[in-house]
Structure 1
Amino acid sequence: MTEGVTGRGGPRHLAFLPYPAYGHTMPVLPVVAELVARGHRVTAFATEEFQERMRATGAEVHPYDPPLSSESPPEHIDADECARAPLKLLRSSTAVMGSIEAAFADGPPDAVVYDTTLWLTGRLLAARWGRPSVQVSPTFISNEHFNLSEQNQEFAGQIDPKHPALVEFAHELREVVTGSGLSEERQAELFYGHEEFTLAFLPKEFQFAGETFDERHVFVGPTAGARREEDTWKPPGDGRPVLLVSLGTTVHGRPEFFQDCARAFADSPWHVVMALGGRVTPEEVGPLPSNVEAHPWVPLGAVLDHASVFLCQAGMGSLMESLYAGVPLVVVPHHPEQKINGKRLAQLGLAEVIRPEDATVQALRAAVDRVAEDEALRARVGRMRRHTREAGGAPRAADVIEARLTSAPPLEHS
């Protein structure tokens, strides 16, 4: 923890609006804990699934009402699904506005920190209250040189701008903004995400076109703090190299993938640790070779401390854990978001990327063996490990938020 309150005007009251999904909420928790430890008061919002974790940071926790959906994305995401997503998010994020405002009936917070998926809610509340805001993102962010939405369409398909859901989105967004009571100038600012002050949970060196982002964008890398005592895992001690296998939290149950992994490494020198997640049971995977262990859940960081390769689906949370530990990757991206991550990994030479349709038993085994033996790749991962650790994590994120409290220009208060 670093000193933060001294010289910043004393303890402040901060509102946190994370999105209730593991990849979005987990990076925020260490930041909230850091700010609370520095003496700030934090009022955070969460669905039931994350309330206990958020309370453990010392924050005052309120439920999103109505609850924001925390359902995992559909198995297949195409252009039609991408066209419908903004309207779903708009409706759900504006529906919680009233409950958030009610929690601050005695006075607004000193700043609003909100997830990028809650961009309208966060910006609108900050503008109404005349308070500075910080947008947080667990993944790549956009500016005039890199557009995440365009990258998404590369893998999901081109979205028809006349899609009925997009037309309705534009109509409902216009109604919300014009009915906000803000001036026309402030209304216009609500539409431009790259103009907002943004804090991203990845190192700048991993961001597409990272060198083009200005001081309004701060890259702090992964925020995982000291591991809890129960977050321990020890290798068996037989000298085998360790391979970690996980599909993260967003890919639907695929026991056949884990079965293929068990077959791929059954007669190998690898000790395999499989993190099955909540959608696959050990019974579904079936009997395992003696060098393979399977768990519904296992602390990734604790296993990565001993791993030589990480085989995963390329979710950003998994990637940041792996790069923080300096472990090279083999990735099998499933959703468009993961395929974008895979594209960046390939550009930087940090992983071998396998298409899901090519992920045979033989291909998985061969890719893991190649990555394990590739000294040049390991050297590149080592350099990214240094960037990832030097980005600053939760303490730097807290520094940035504190600085925002005093450096942000005054906003219109309606």
Structure 2
Amino acid sequence: MTGPSPAEPGGPPRHLAFLPYPAYGHMVPVLPVVSELVARGHRVTCFTTDAFTDRVRATGAEACLYDPPLSSDPPPDVIDADECARAPLKLLEASTAVLPAIESRFVDGPPDAVAYDTTLWLTGRLLAARWACPSVQLSPTFISNEHFDLSERHQEFAGRIDPAHPAIVEFGERLTEIVAGSGLAAEQQAELFYGRQEFTVAFVPKAFQFAGGTFDERHVFVGPTVSGEDGAWQPPSDGRPVLLVSLGTTVNNRPDFFRACVAAFADLPWHTVLALGDRVSPAELGPLPPHVEAHSWVPLSAVLPHTSVFLCQSGMGSILEGLRAGVPMVVVPHHPEQHVNAARLSELGLARVVRREDATAGTLRAAVLDVAGDTALRARVGAMRPHVESAGGALLAADAIERRLRAVTLETP
């Protein structure tokens, strides 16, 4: 990637602290932005875990480890209202536990800005307030305002959270305790809670965001930042239509699902590509027909241009890859955020949704064949494609972060 030199519109080189959440769906959109900022002459210190250290170093940034490490374990198989009530407290405790290690890294002088994942919202805002520097919130998914509340939509699928749940009560008490003990002025403490003045970079296209037209200039929608993964794949030589199947990186421990896909298309003139992930081995599927191939990993960007239908779990990374390639989808959401993604796809007429409990060989086969023959759906996907392709990606994200730096610098007396 290349961008303007800091001497042009970007301003002088700065030192930026990045606090991404160390999970695949959160790290992958951020790393190209880090790479672009480094290419523009900025110094970036990026916190991570061992699993992503090499990827961070490849951007040219300095990699520092979260201590204690933030968990990147897959979420529970079932996320209900009880789990949703407990999650904020777990995240609060984990994200504030890393504060001392982050502050010790900058004991010789604070960075010029803090860019933090939305799950580390208190950590990022607290550090920025203490260091009196601008901050940028990074969101790998939909963002909220007064017209759309992501948490409310999650509860439609996970169940309503009881405000009196012990974990919610404890979360409120701990949050109040942390903010009150921050040493910040009252108005700064309120900003920690609400983030009304926060600047957000969202890795979704504005056309795909719920109520996208209602967000103001403090929100920048840059879409996907990754142009494609390295790797080669060859389409079938016999001209069969290709079905690509993937459950992403968090819900892929489903050999039964992949077996159902094999059964669904074994007797049809389709070429099926299964991207299994690292928790199911091809051997678990048994003997495969010659027109079915199974891989632990396959570059989606290499397969999707040849794909007629993409069957996936409705993770944001997967669906944006599909939309950028102009491929209609069948989605089988598992977790609440995937259900919200699927609801948006359905609302815009870009995919068919199959409930997880209904995902038999028969229903998957019917859904894929239905989508393959739906010319109106394909046209809608084609109309969304340029919005994804032209959203701006890493270049726009880097521009937005530099504008944030300049704006706050100009406001500082």
TM range, normalised to the smaller chain?
A: over 0.9
CA distance in 1, matches of 2:252, 2:412: 45
Alpha-carbon offset, residue 365 of structure 1:
1.0
Q: Secondary structure at the match of 1:26?
A: helix
Q: Which residue in the other structure is 1:117 paired with?
A: 119
Alpha-carbon offset, residue 395 of structure 1:
0.7
- Greater shift in the superposed pair: 401-410 or 148-157: 401-410
What pairs up with 1:91-240 in 2 under 5 angstroms? 91-193=93-195, 195-225=197-227, 227-228=229-230, 231-240=231-240
CA distance in 2, matches of 1:408, 1:243: 49
Alpha-carbon offset, residue 412 of structure 1:
9.2
Give a deviation string over 1:353-393, Cα, whole Å, max 9, x none.
00011111111111111111111111111111100011100
Q: Does 1:3 align with 2:4?
A: yes
Q: Which residue in the other structure is 2:38 paired with?
A: 36
Query: What letter corresponds to residue 14 of structure 2 in structure 1?
Result: R
Q: Secondary structure at the match of 1:305?
A: helix
Q: Which residue in the other structure is 2:378 paired with?
A: 378
CA distance in 2, matches of 1:257, 1:382: 28
CA distance in 2, matches of 1:259, 1:8: 52
CA distance in 1, matches of 2:159, 2:290: 43
Q: Which residue in the other structure is 2:18 paired with?
A: 16
Q: Which residue in the other structure is 2:357 paired with?
A: 357
Give a deviation string over 1:160-188, Cα, whole Å, max 9, x none.
00100011101111111111111000000
Q: Secondary structure at the match of 2:9?
A: coil
Q: Which residue in the other structure is 1:300 paired with?
A: 300
Q: Which residue in the other structure is 2:256 paired with?
A: 256
Taking structure 1 as reference, are residues 193 and 141 closer, same or farther at Cα in structure 2, changes over 3 Å only? Answer: farther
Q: Is the 8 A contact 1:127 1:412 kept in 2?
A: no
Query: What letter corresponds to residue 383 of structure 1 in structure 2?
Result: A
Q: Which residue in the other structure is 2:275 paired with?
A: 275
CA distance in 1, matches of 2:333, 2:121: 26
Where structure 1 has 5 or more consecutive residues not aligned to the other structure, the ranges are none
CA distance in 2, matches of 1:94, 1:408: 25
Q: Which residue in the other structure is 1:403 paired with?
A: 403
Alpha-carbon offset, residue 238 of structure 1:
1.6
Q: Does 1:334 align with 2:334?
A: yes
Q: Does 1:313 align with 2:318?
A: no
Q: Secondary structure at the match of 2:371?
A: helix
CA distance in 1, matches of 2:272, 2:11: 51
CA distance in 1, matches of 2:51, 2:291: 34
Q: Is the 8 A contact 2:223 2:391 kept in 1?
A: yes
Q: Is the 8 A contact 1:242 1:273 kept in 2?
A: yes
CA distance in 2, matches of 1:8, 1:2: 9
Give a deviation string over 1:326-365, Cα, whole Å, max 9, x none.
1110001111111111100000000000001111111111
Query: What letter corresponds to residue 191 of structure 1 in structure 2?
Result: F
CA distance in 1, matches of 2:306, 2:13: 40
Q: Is the 8 A contact 2:252 2:277 kept in 1?
A: no
Give a deviation string over 1:59-99, Cα, whole Å, max 9, x none.
10000000001111000000000000000000000000011
Taking structure 1 as reference, are residues 7 and 342 closer, same or farther at Cα in structure 2, changes over 3 Å only? Answer: closer
Alpha-carbon offset, residue 227 of structure 1:
4.3
Q: Which residue in the other structure is 1:345 paired with?
A: 345
Alpha-carbon offset, residue 236 of structure 1:
2.5
CA distance in 1, matches of 2:330, 2:363: 11
What pairs up with 1:60-75 in 2 under 5 angstroms? 60-75=62-77
Q: Secondary structure at the match of 2:193?
A: coil
Alpha-carbon offset, residue 8 of structure 1:
3.0
Q: Secondary structure at the match of 1:294?
A: strand
Q: How many residues align?
A: 411
CA distance in 2, matches of 1:103, 1:158: 40
Query: What letter corresponds to residue 74 of structure 1 in structure 2?
Result: P
Percent identical: 69
Q: Which residue in the other structure is 2:60 paired with?
A: 58
CA distance in 2, matches of 1:195, 1:330: 38
Could you say what the CA RMSD is over the residues aligned between the two structures, in angstroms?
1.4
Q: Secondary structure at the match of 2:138?
A: strand
Q: Is the 8 A contact 2:19 2:115 kept in 1?
A: yes
Alpha-carbon offset, residue 194 of structure 1:
5.4
Alpha-carbon offset, residue 7 of structure 1:
3.4
Query: What letter corresponds to residue 2 of structure 1 in structure 2?
Result: G
CA distance in 2, matches of 1:367, 1:94: 45
CA distance in 2, matches of 1:252, 1:270: 22
Q: Secondary structure at the match of 2:369?
A: helix
CA distance in 2, matches of 1:4, 1:137: 26
CA distance in 2, matches of 1:409, 1:378: 47
Query: What letter corresponds to residue 122 of structure 1 in structure 2?
Result: G
Alpha-carbon offset, residue 2 of structure 1:
2.5
CA distance in 1, matches of 2:75, 2:236: 36
Q: Is the 8 A contact 1:113 1:136 kept in 2?
A: yes
Divergent runs of 4+, >2 A:
225-228, 408-413
